[in-house]
Structure 1
Amino acid sequence: MPRLTRRRALAAGAAVAATAGLHEPSAAAQGHSREHGHDHDRDHDHDHGAPEAFDEVYLGRRIQGRPLAGGHHHGGGYGVFIDGVELHVMRNADGSWISVVSHYDPVPSPRAAARAAVAELRGAPLVPLA
C-alpha cells in the first residue's frame, strides 16, 4: 500500500468534498454549541499566544484541543482531536488555522477548525494521517 502523503490526503479530501458537495453548518448546528455554554466569538487566541485547551461535544462528536510537547512543525505544538483521532491542523502566517479536512477555509482558532471538520465530515469517521 502506498504511503499516505499530504498531497494524497488533500486529493482524497477534495474528492470527498466534490462528491458530497460543499456544506455550511446550519444555524441550528451553530447554535448547538451555544446551548452548551460555548461562544463562537470566544474562539480567538488570547493575547496572541498559544490557543486555549478545549474539550467539548459538538454535533455529537467529541472535539479536543491542547498544547503538545515537542512542538509540531506547522501546528505550533498544538493538537486537535475528533473522537480521539488527531486532526492535522496548521497555523497560517496571518494567525488563522486550517485543517486537512477544511484546507481552503481558514478559521480563527483550532476549536473552529475542529468544528468545521466535524460539520464537513457529516458523521463520517476521521481517518488518521499515517
Structure 2
Amino acid sequence: MSCPTRRRVLHRGVAGLAGAVLAGPVAAATTPDAFAAPRSTGGTEHAKAHRRPADDEMPEPFDEMYQGRHIEGWPEEGDHGGHGGHGGPHEGMEFVVRIDNDDLHVMRNVDGTWVSLVNHYETFPAPRGVARAAVRELNGADLVPVVTG
C-alpha cells in the first residue's frame, strides 16, 4: 500500500465533511431534537398558565377592573370580520374583548395563543392576558376604532 499524499487526505476529509453537512438536516428531521429544552408536564403555575388550550376549549368570559380600566370579554356568534371560516370546532364563534366599552380586536393563533392589534408581537394564553397587556401598553390612552371595508 502506498503512502497517502496530502492531496488524497484533504480530498477524503472534504468529501467526508460534505457528506456530514448534507446528512445533518435529514438526520435532524427524522430524530427527536436532542438540544430542545425539556418540556414541563404542568407542575408549576407558570407552566399551567402557558399550556396550549385544547382545540375545543373556548376561553372563559371575564369582567374586571384592571389598572383603573374596565376590561371584559366573552364568546359570541360572529362572522370573524371577513376572515373566512377555518373549519375549526368554533366555526362561527369569535371572542369579543372590550376596554372601557371600546372593542379590542383579538385574534387566535393556530397554536391556541392570542394576540391583539395593540400588542401583536406578544402572544398570550387567553384573551384576559391580551386585554391586560393592551391596558398596560395604552398607558391611559383610548382605543382607536378599527376601520374595515
Q: Shorter-chain TM-score category? A: 0.5 to 0.7
Task: Give yes or no for the alignment of 1:67 onto 2:84.
Answer: no
In 2, the alpha carbon distance for the partners of 1:79 and 1:43 equals 21
**Among 91, 104, 112, the residue aligned to 1:95:** 112
Q: Structure 1: which 5+ residue stretches go unaligned?
A: 1-39
Task: Give yes or no for the alignment of 1:108 onto 2:125.
Answer: yes
Partner of 2:19: none
Q: What percent of counterpart residues are identical?
A: 52
Cα deviation, 1:6-50, whole Å, max 9, x if unaligned, reads xxxxxxxxxxxxxxxxxxxxxxxxxxxxxxxxxx96697875511
Give how far 1:126 is off.
Answer: 0.8
Name the SS for the 1:119 alignment partner: helix
State the TM-score, normalizing by the size of structure 1: 0.62
Partner of 1:81: 98
Name the SS for the 2:115 alignment partner: strand
Name the SS for the 1:55 alignment partner: strand
Q: 1:44 to 1:88 in 2, by over 3 A?
A: farther
**Among 105, 110, 120, the residue aligned to 2:137:** 120
In 1, the alpha carbon distance for the partners of 2:123 and 2:100 equals 22
In 2, the alpha carbon distance for the partners of 1:55 and 1:86 equals 14
State the TM-score, normalizing by the size of structure 2: 0.54
Q: Structure 2: which 5+ residue stretches go unaligned?
A: 1-45, 85-91
**Among 57, 61, 64, the residue aligned to 1:56:** 64
Q: Where has structure 1 moved over 3 Å in runs of 4 or more?
A: 40-48, 73-76
Name the SS for the 1:127 alignment partner: coil
CA contact 2:52–2:112 (8 Å) conserved in 1: no
